[in-house]
């Protein structure tokens, strides 16, 4: 049992944003919820929060609305061997320890938390765009090779995947491809494998899937991502969600708020039924990160021009098994000059430099 569990304790009135900070910073993947006299109330995990986001719960809402109030627990003093058996039986990484109803500790499968597995799943990074909105910076440099901090954007993306345990990479190129291939080579300098596919003409956000080699593993989903996105998404959790859900494809989505700058008036005929001053509308938007099962990416023909939303819509019609994975982590699509400047300011604080 490790002592840092005490740093994960929150009251039910704490916000989801506060819980996320604890989950991310303490490395235990859980926030423990107690009342004012340390009586155990429940736990909050990353999965609990993402399910809440899908229900429309905001990050400023209290954790009481998303917490699991009936998790698996054990009495304090239970032998570790029994706790490990219980965690393995229920596929858990931790068990809260109770003294009656009082929280007394947290037992973890520490090795599982510290040692990340190696994933053979292919990672497909899209790096062929012209970056026209970032000219003149992209006149002589492809956008993924622009430096944010002290390294190219694409290198930061690749290092994030390496940190999560991924080793097999494919990079799609079109504009100034030699700058990308010369910098990364075959990936051996990074301890990974890198192969390249080249689009002679732009094929859309999904068309490059048809250029991947036919010998890709037929049983492993592929993670696909734009090469100009900075993010701290938990790729391991994303892949686990996709596999556990047996999805054909999973799209990462972000919550986007839009405030209408006027008072909105609702009515029936000439009669006003309600008035709302400057309401905020919330939507989920595409974050440009996908997990795609073989049956989906193998359905794209060579040199077929298709965008990812269109590809996923086709498979939605066939099987209705396309899921979304809400992300609450940092995410920035470096598409405009303002985004590029923001990335330069954010990179050090994020620990991605």
Peptide bond into 59 cis (omega under 30): no
Q: Kindly tell me the burial class for residue 349, based on how many C-beta atoms sit within 10 Å of its own C-beta (0-12, 13-18, 19 or more).
A: exposed
Q: Is the dihedral of CA 201, 203, 205, 210 positive or negative?
A: negative
Query: What integer best gives the mean pLDDT of the chain?
Result: 87
Per the structure block, which two tokens stand in for 310? Answer: 């269109």
Percentage of the residues of the chain whose pLDDT score is greater than 90: 35
Q: Choose the weakest-confidence range: 114-123, 200-209, 271-280.
A: 114-123
Report the C-alpha gap between 198 and 266 in whole angstroms. 53
* Residue recorded with tokens 């990479």: 169
Report the C-alpha gap between 315 and 66 in whole angstroms. 31
Asked if 148 and 227 touch (Cβ cutoff 8 Å), the reply is no
Q: Choose the weakest-confidence range: 30-34, 79-83, 322-326.
A: 79-83
Given a cut of 70, whether residue 111 has pLDDT beyond it is no
Phi, psi of 318 (to 5 degrees): -70, -50
* Residue recorded with tokens 């994975």: 325
Report the C-alpha gap between 296 and 310 in whole angstroms. 12
Report the C-alpha gap between 99 and 190 in whole angstroms. 48
Going by pLDDT thresholds of 50, 70 and 90, the confidence category of residue 126 is very high
Per the structure block, which two tokens stand in for 343? Answer: 């990335």
At 334 the pLDDT is 87
Given a cut of 90, whether residue 8 has pLDDT beyond it is no
At 150 the pLDDT is 84
Given a cut of 70, whether residue 110 has pLDDT beyond it is no
Going by pLDDT thresholds of 50, 70 and 90, the confidence category of residue 2 is very low
Q: Choose the weakest-confidence range: 1-15, 70-84, 195-209, 258-272.
A: 1-15
**pLDDT tens for residues 62-100?**
998 899 999 999 998 888 778 888 887 887 888 899 989
Q: Choose the weakest-confidence range: 78-87, 166-175, 198-207, 305-314.
A: 78-87
Given a cut of 80, whether residue 353 has pLDDT beyond it is no
At 26 the pLDDT is 58
Per the structure block, which two tokens stand in for 65? Answer: 């609305």
Going by pLDDT thresholds of 50, 70 and 90, the confidence category of residue 34 is very high
At 1 the pLDDT is 43
196/47: higher pLDDT: 196
Q: Locate the DSSP E strands across 174-279.
A: 193-198, 222-226, 229-231, 249-259, 263-268, 271-277
C-alpha count within 13 angstroms, C-beta hemisphere, residue 232: 16
Given a cut of 80, whether residue 348 has pLDDT beyond it is no
At 322 the pLDDT is 92
Asked if 208 and 199 touch (Cβ cutoff 8 Å), the reply is yes
Burial per residue of 29-40, b for 16 or more beta-carbon CB atoms within 10 angstroms, e otherwise: bbbbbbeeeeeb
User: Cα 290 to the chain's mean position, in Å?
Assistant: 9
At 196 the pLDDT is 95
At 287 the pLDDT is 92
Report the C-alpha gap between 208 and 81 in whole angstroms. 49
Asked if 15 and 59 touch (Cβ cutoff 8 Å), the reply is yes
**pLDDT tens for residues 127-177?**
888 878 888 888 888 889 988 888 899 999 999 999 888 999 999 998 888
Per the structure block, which two tokens stand in for 207? Answer: 């068309």
Domains and CATH numbers, the chain: 3-114 (3.10.580.10), 119-350 (3.90.550.10)
* Residue recorded with tokens 């929150």: 10
Asked if 93 and 112 touch (Cβ cutoff 8 Å), the reply is yes
Report the C-alpha gap between 300 and 207 in whole angstroms. 7
Given a cut of 70, whether residue 343 has pLDDT beyond it is yes
Q: Choose the weakest-confidence range: 74-78, 131-135, 239-243, 259-263.
A: 131-135
């Amino acid at each position: 049992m490790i002592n840092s569990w005490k740093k994960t304790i929150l009251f039910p009135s704490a916000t989801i944003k506060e819980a996320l900070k604890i989950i991310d910073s303490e490395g235990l993947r859980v926030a423990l919820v107690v009342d004012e006299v340390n009586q155990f109330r429940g736990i909050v995990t990353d999965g609990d929060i993402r399910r809440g986001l899908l229900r429309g719960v905001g990050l400023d809402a209290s954790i009481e609305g998303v917490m699991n109030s009936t998790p698996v627990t054990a009495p304090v003093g239970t032998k570790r061997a029994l706790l490990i058996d219980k965690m393995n039986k229920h596929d858990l990484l931790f068990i809260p320890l109770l003294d009656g109803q009082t929280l007394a500790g947290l037992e973890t499968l520490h090795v599982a938390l510290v040692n990340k597995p190696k994933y053979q799943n292919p990672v497909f990074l899209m790096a062929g765009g012209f970056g026209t909105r970032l000219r003149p910076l992209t006149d002589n440099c492809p956008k993924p090779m622009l430096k944010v901090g002290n390294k190219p954007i694409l290198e930061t993306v690749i290092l994030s995947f390496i940190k999560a345990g991924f080793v097999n990479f494919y990079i799609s190129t079109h504009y100034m491809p030699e700058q990308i291939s010369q910098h990364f080579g075959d990936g051996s300098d990074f301890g990974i494998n890198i192969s390249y596919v080249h689009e002679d003409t732009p094929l859309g956000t999904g068309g490059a899937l048809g250029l991947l080699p036919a010998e890709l593993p037929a049983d492993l989903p592929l993670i696909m991502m734009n090469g100009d996105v900075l993010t701290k998404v938990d790729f391991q959790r994303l892949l686990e969600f996709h596999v556990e859900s047996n999805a054909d494809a999973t799209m990462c989505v972000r919550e986007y708020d839009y405030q209408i700058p006027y008072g909105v008036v609702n009515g029936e005929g000439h009669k006003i039924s309600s008035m709302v001053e400057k309401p905020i509308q919330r939507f989920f938007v595409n974050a440009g990160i996908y997990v795609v099962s073989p049956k989906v990416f193998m359905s794209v023909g060579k040199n077929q021009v298709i965008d990812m939303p269109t590809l996923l819509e086709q498979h939605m019609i066939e099987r209705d098994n396309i899921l979304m994975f809400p992300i609450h982590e940092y995410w920035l699509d470096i598409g405009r000059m303002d985004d590029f400047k923001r990335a330069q300011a954010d990179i050090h604080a994020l620990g991605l430099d």
